Structure 1
Amino acid sequence: MQRWTLDIDSPDWKSAPEADAVCTALLAGDLVAIPTETVYGLAADATDGKACARIFQAKGRPQFNPLISHVPSLESAMDHGEFDDRALKLARAFWPGPLTLVVPKKKGSPISDLATAGLETVALRVPKGPVMRFLAEKTGRPLAAPSANTSGRISPTRAEDVIADLEPSLSYVIDAGPCTVGIESTIVGLIDDQPRLLRPGGLTREDIEQVLGTELATRDTSTQPDAPTAPGMLTSHYAPNARLILEAAEASPEDGLLSFGPTSLPGAEAARAEFNLSPTGDLAEAAANLFQALRWLDAHGAAVIRAQIIPNFGLGEAINDRLRRAAAPRP
């Protein structure tokens, strides 16, 4: 594995020799860890079934769990998906950005059936993070890229997290520093008359509904909880090694503490370790810190992590979604 450390604010990184080497690796079917504004992605050529199979193998990911294909622009996304008026509204409002749209797959799209899990739909995103967008444009291929971690575990927001999980499977890891959003993209399904929030994420429900002019339905997973129509929908996901307890009323001397806001839980001073997602109660800061906080608390050896209540609006909806999945019983 080779590590390419780049300064995203420098105008020279796109012309670096590593850029050509990474594109060659992707076109050869290799796996590359690429940063976006949300989390680091484990990327491969989405049109190459064998390359996509390497993603599933490296992550230990179930093959019925579809992948997001990242493209450089709305125009390129329209080569792969059928965009109705609703999809165009959302794409024009929020792309590039932390929004994935699940739309009917366009006839003739070369995105592999393995990337779509054999469904007649495709998950597409134009990320704000410039590295993924640049590489998709330079290779001329949509890049399938789930989070660059072992399946079901904590998503990575730093290159070090990726290396710890997946180093033997990687051709390159591109280190552009910490991700700014810190949780995965919001996924909206537009495959019938009712737009659906399939996964809350880095773009809030409220912002999406304002553009659509209608409320988003929420997918009911009670009948088929583990038959996902989009990535990141499995019941157990994002899990630390420690057992996670939600809406804790107090801390414990033996446990780790995931706190939020200016007021800590009773007993916090005696906890084994404490990580405050945002001392000021800023949900954007909390989202950016979430996965790193879980990794940090895990590293302190607590068998149990107790999480303080997080408000369930705005980005809090996505944070609570990740915490519920991280706390779910593991298969």
Structure 2
Amino acid sequence: METKRWSVDKYVDDLGSYPHISQAADFLINNEVVAFPTETVYGLGGNAESDDAVARIFAAKGRPSDNPLIIHIAEEQQLSSFVEEIPEMATRLMKAFWPGPLTLIFKKKEGKISEKATPGVSTVAVRMPDHPVALALLKKAGIPIAAPSANRSGRPSPTTADHVWDDLNGDIAGLVDGGPTGVGVESTVLDCTEPVPVILRPGGVTKEQIEAVIGEVRVDPALADVDHAPKSPGMKYRHYAPDAPLHLVDGSKEFLQMLVDEKKAEGLSVGVLTTEENQDFYQADFVVACGKRVNLNTVASSLYDALRKFNHTKADVIFSEMFPLEGVGHAVMNRLMKAAGHRVINS
């Protein structure tokens, strides 16, 4: 399959009339699969009402078939066509954070969204992305769009069009290149069907921000306990991993350097994932910095690109620093834990 690639300037006025947006929207309407930028990562979009389109998403990604997809919309009015009810707390959250990196889970209306997009669940996850290209494309298509991250399943999520191209060129119909994304980690997923809403995946909107709007919020115990069955089916799978095995290091940078030295003595090529503050400290074969430790938002926005950089090296093993569990740091550590398969070395 030839993958059509369109370049779109997100700062162009009236993006909806832009020819590339119209062409990409036509692809979606005709049940083709198109990747597009959001404020978090690039999404791989398909008509959420079409079994054929949703099946193409799963096939292109190599995604497990029991892993539900997030539905993307451009206008809140679209919710009423496939959601049973909108709790009052969800209305407040939408007012506060939509468009933005917050996915809300509702009870779904049967027969509206493809069952392939919501396999084995009675709920549907929905968000409105905060990106001008995404919103223009969604409005032009005029249909709900199912869109997981636009990467090969298990690999780091894509934050640039080139990341998508590396993974999916030839396997999808189109790619809208709208430049790099901003937030860098996926949206927060919040289950609004419980009396006390539950965070199933940490992301660009923090627990503290949500609680400031609606009060108490719980966190799925599976996020802290690997032996606890996750409430969200997709959270049981390995994600975000570079090609070489990744180990998180809970200790000083001197301890991490000792681990590097041990592996180098064994004849292995070693990579280190760190931040700008520490990148000159490590003596390793490959040192990659992802943002600044003093600003975890920069770490989040750079994380996936940093992990992908190791795939262009000959690293046999990668060691990574850990980050504080505060604010977006929860999302960063969630992604790193999954990328490492929960391998942590303690000093």
State whether TM-score is above 0.5: yes
SS in structure 2 of the partner of residue 72 of structure 1: coil
Determine the structure 2 residue equivalent to 1:103: 106
Conservation of the 8 A alpha-carbon contact between 2:293 and 2:299? no
Aligned counterpart in structure 1 of residue 27 of structure 2, from 19, 25, 28: 25
In the other structure, the counterpart of 1:204 is: 206
Q: Partner residue of 1:172?
A: 174
Matched residue of 2:181: which SS? coil
Looking at structure 1, the residues matched to 50 and 297 of structure 2 have their Cα atoms a distance apart, in angstroms, of 36
Q: 2:229 aligns with which of 224, 227, 248?
A: 224
Equivalences for residues 282-301 of structure 1 within 5 A: 282-301=295-314
Alpha-carbon separation, structure 1, partners of 2:271 and 2:22: 44
Q: Which residue among 315, 321, 332 is the counterpart of 1:308?
A: 321
**Where does 1:155-170 land on structure 2 (aligned, <5 Å)?**
155-170=157-172
Q: Is the 8 A contact 1:245 1:305 kept in 2?
A: yes
CA contact (8 A) 1:261 1:281 kept: no
1:260 and 2:275 aligned? yes
Partner residue in 1 for 2:294: 281
* SS at 1:169 equivalent: coil
Share of identical aligned residues, percent?
40
Q: Distance in 2 between matches of 1:132 and 1:230?
A: 26
Question: What are the equivalent positions in structure 2 for 1:70-109 lying under 5 Å apart?
Answer: 70-81=72-83, 82-107=85-110
Matched residue SS, 2:103: strand
**Counterpart residue identity of residue 28, structure 1:** N
Contact 2:244 2:311 in 1 (8 A): yes
State the shift of 1:77 in Å: 2.3
TM-score (norm 2): 0.88
Deviation at 1:17, TM superposition (A): 1.9
Q: Kindly report which structure 2 residues correspond to 1:236-275, keeping only aligned pairs within 5 A, or say none.
A: 236-247=238-249, 249-251=255-257, 252=260, 253=264, 254-260=269-275, 262-263=277-278, 268=282, 270-275=283-288
Structure 1 vs Structure 2 CA RMSD: 1.9
Residue 223 of structure 1, CA deviation:
4.7
User: C-alpha distance in 2, partners of 1:177/1:263?
Assistant: 28
Q: Give the drift of 1:224.
A: 3.2
- Given that 1:71 and 1:124 are in contact with CA atoms closer than 8 Å, whether structure 2 keeps it comes out as yes
> Could you tell me which amino acid in structure 2 is paired with residue 128 of structure 1?
D
Assess if the C-alpha contact under 8 Å between 1:236 and 1:329 holds in 2: no
Shift of 1:234: 2.5
Aligned-residue offset at 1:230: 5.7
Structure 1 unmatched runs, 5+: none
Judged with a 3 Å threshold, the aligned counterparts in structure 2 of structure 1 residues 311 and 261 are, in CA distance, closer, same or farther, namely farther
Per-residue displacement from partner, 1:41-74 (whole Å, max 9, x unpaired)? 1100000011100111111111110000000122
Q: Secondary structure at the match of 2:217?
A: coil
Q: Deviations over 1:81-108 (max 9, x none)?
A: 2210111111111000000001111356
State the alpha-carbon separation in 2 of the partners of residues 60 and 257 from structure 1: 29
Amino acid at match of 1:222: D
CA contact (8 A) 1:100 1:123 kept: yes
